[in-house]
Amino acid sequence: MVFITIFIKSDNHLQPSETYKSRIVIDNNRTVSHYFKILTESDDMAKYNTYMYNNQCLGYEIPMTKNLYEIFGTKLCIQLQEVSFTVPMNPFKRVNWLMELHKKNLFDIINLNDDEPINKQSIGTWRTWGKLPNNIPPNMDNHPENLVILIDFNQKWAYNKFQLQELLESSKTTTIRLPHTSIRHRKDYLLEQLEDVINKSLPIIKIT
């Protein structure tokens, strides 16, 4: 058992005097997920931030399931770079959404790094702090809170809840072909399932 110390260097412009804001001692056999759990328990605001190591996002480019010794090698003291929630960033690189993806086993979403199949906007749209207007319609805003995950033949696809709802409601037939597949699905079943989960966070609907 080897314990390492992880420091966080902060670029938080709201607290510019606080250069190093966290010091956590942890067994290097633990995973990134374990580290984030300890970090957020000690600092609730950490869940809104992103953490980088060697220019890679911890939990995203560096998997949540990876053991710390696999990342840091024989180093006993490690410095992470904090990217504040005030800096434009794909929300899926924030700790809270990384933990949600990990909890629900959703890192294998087919279009996680691509576009939403209906509105053709990128998944994880950044819509605050100046990059996009705050009043962007929900059906064009692919922030994680507006997404639903469809599981189709063991493939996971992220859809905008409201775009999907509009598409289903506008259909004049009893079955519908979704953009990611050539197979038709029952419209009433999809609508019923979507209505049941539309207010939930990153819900999952199994359609086959």
pLDDT score of 89 = 87
> How far apart, in whole angstroms, are the C-alpha atoms of residue 208 and residue 197?
17
- Chain centre to alpha carbon of residue 205: 17
Provide Rg for the chain, Cα atoms.
19
Same domain, 157 and 198: yes
pLDDT for 36 beyond 70? yes
Q: Which tens digits make up the pLDDT trace of 9-23?
A: 886 555 554 566 789
| Residues 45 and 109 grouped into a single domain | no
For every residue of 37-64, DSSP letters joined together read: HHHHHH-GGGGGSEEEETTEEEETTEET
pLDDT band of residue 34 (cuts 50, 70, 90) is very high
pLDDT in tens, 101-154: 999 999 999 999 999 999 999 998 755 444 555 678 999 999 999 999 999 999
Which domain, by its residues, includes 157?
Answer: 105-208
The per-residue pLDDT for 130 is 45
Q: What is the pLDDT of residues 46-103, one digit of tens each?
A: 999 999 999 999 999 999 999 999 999 999 999 999 999 888 889 999 999 999 999 9
Q: Same domain, yes or no, for 98 and 110?
A: no
Both 80 and 155 in a single domain? no
**Which residue spans within the chain are E strands per DSSP?**
3-10, 20-27, 50-53, 56-59, 62-63, 77-83, 147-152, 155-160, 175-177, 184-186, 204-206
Instruction: Say if residue 46 is in the same domain as residue 142.
Output: no
90 and 109 fall within a common domain: no
pLDDT at 129: 43
pTM of the predicted model as reported, rounded to 2 decimal places: 0.90
